[in-house]
Structure 1
């Protein structure tokens, strides 16, 4: 299955999540990260959640379709609220990309391009 979110968008979220985790409260990093995730479409939000679950080893990489379907079926809170409440979000997203065979370095190179 093709991942319904571009790796560069996931890389952008990883970078923002790392800044958010390391940042001083009130600097706007959380607001920017929340807005970016909120502006993704439903398929992208479900895929982002699935990548995080794969990175957290809740699902295996070959269960991507099932993870995406589960994310859509179980979404009871806004995705940005759910994901921003996950400690180590950036690490889980990075591990999820790696598990799916997607190079974070290649994805990060695309971050400077418009998403």
Structure 2
């Protein structure tokens, strides 16, 4: 069960799609150095981007469980977890990742597609 309103999820998906459709957004396949905080580096160049700020503002209103669910939703849509492992995925997303959820999510090139697939796995759809 999701603890995030569908409207908020669809808004985040739409804004992530807008952000990553812009020219100049380059997301590395993998970090150059394992100790690099590449999610923060990706967004450092786009800190003034309106779509990024809207996502960050929306996630600032989420509690830790909701941010963890958003990350778990991406993992579910990406195939890292099955729907039967939902609570495990949410538990795994709690902590540092959920605190930096916007940065972590936007550092993944196909986040909007993954989130949408995760929603579908839960039986929900965004009406566009």
Contact 1:34 1:84 in 2 (8 A): no
Q: CA deviation at 1:40?
A: 1.4
Specify the structure having the higher radius of gyration (Cα).
2
1:104 CA drift (Å): 2.1
Give RMSD over aligned pairs. Answer: 2.0
In structure 2, stretches of 5+ residues that fail to align are 24-45
1:62 to 72, 84, 89: 84
Q: Which residue of 2 aligns with 1:28?
A: 50
Structure 1 length as normaliser, TM-score?
A: 0.79
Structure 1 residues 20 and 69, CA gap change in structure 2 (3 angstroms): same
Displaced runs of 4 or more, over 4 A? 24-27
Deviations 1:17-43 (A, max 9, x none): 111112356552222222222331111
1:53 aligns with 2:75: yes
The residue number in structure 1 matching 2:43 is: none
How many angstroms apart in 1 are the aligned matches of 2:98 and 2:73?
18
Uncovered stretches (5+) of structure 1, i.e. residues with no partner: 109-115
Query: Which residue pairs with 2:116 in the alignment?
Result: 94
Shift of 1:5: 1.3
Q: TM-score, normalised by structure 2?
A: 0.72
Q: Higher RCO, 1 or 2 (CA under 8 Å, sep at least 6)?
A: 1
Distance in structure 1 (CA, Å) of the matches to 2:96 and 2:18: 28
